[in-house]
Amino acid sequence: MASNPAPELAVLIPFYGQVPALQETLSSLSQDTFPHDVIVVDDGNIPALEIPQERHPRVIVVKHDRNRGITEALNTGLAYALKCGYQYIARLDAGDRNIPGRLGKQVSFLERLPQCQLVGAQARFVDEEGHFLYTSEMPTEHAVIYRRLHRQSCFIHPTIMFRASVLTKVGGYRDKYPAAEDYDLFFRIAGQFPTANLEDILITYQVSAKSISSRRRRRQLFSRLRIVLEHFDARMLDSYRGLLESMIAILVPRFLISHLHTLAHRLKYAWRGLPNEH
């Protein structure tokens, strides 16, 4: 259990994979001075995950007896956070790096805007060697976010923070949409409550060919298409664009989309007179 005084914030990290990646992420969190606990869900790793408490005294490990998958791991972490009474829950993934100051900025934003239930941020994307690829440009205003959600997710999952209380209204992650459980949750929250993204870059996101989204891309894209159909609004142009873009994405190889995405960002930087890395 968390030691006293208990923080109001928990950072949730589901984990099944390489320990060095998790250690790097925990080290980045240890540099953030805003009071927080870290809930790591060991999703059946063999051997079981052991975190040295002398190095990470605020890390709580919740263990699965076997590998149950990302959705169950996330919901196990959420259930633990709700039981412990945390007010805010933030996300991060093993391999990604939290930028110091992130947690305080997002908590302050939610405290200033009590109606807002979820806030994300921008991310700096790097490859597995740490080379810069691009930075995100997620929309910041709720009206724009909700409209664009009919095309694609407008939140970078490891950047989000939300009020724990919203889970009692919309539920947690669902296994209805494999590999797109985050997009589904974002849509359910944004459909009922204000949301936002900060303009700040608050994490470094590692793009890996071994990630769940990379390995389960086709399943993810079909789930994305089904989510777009579930929320389809015949009055909204973005709903039609979402259907078209989802179907194109299913047909186009990932490496080509990734290459075009990076190229588009570099051309944008050049057009604005900015360096490739910023």
Q: What is the pLDDT along the chain (278 residues), one digit of tens a residue?
A: 444 567 999 999 999 998 999 999 999 999 999 999 999 999 999 999 999 888 889 999 999 999 999 999 999 999 999 999 999 999 999 999 999 999 999 999 999 999 999 999 999 999 888 899 999 999 999 999 999 999 999 999 999 999 999 999 999 999 999 999 999 999 999 999 999 999 999 999 998 766 555 557 888 999 999 999 999 999 999 999 999 999 988 887 655 555 555 666 666 656 666 565 55
Cis check: omega of the bond before 100, within 30 degrees of 0: no
Q: Rg (Cα) of the chain, in Å, rounded? A: 18
Domain edges within the chain: 9-208
Strand ranges (E), 102-257: 118-126, 132-135, 161-163, 195-206
The size of the chain, in residues, is 278
- DSSP H or E segment with residue 70: helix 70-84
Q: Which CATH superfamily is domain 9-208 in?
A: Spore Coat Polysaccharide Biosynthesis Protein SpsA; Chain A (3.90.550.10)
Count of C-beta atoms within a 10 Å radius of residue 181: 23
Q: Which two tokens stand for residue 92?
A: 């991060």
Tell me how far apart the terminal alpha carbons of the chain are, to the nearest angstrom. Answer: 40
Question: How far apart are alpha carbons 195 and 182 in whole angstroms?
Answer: 14
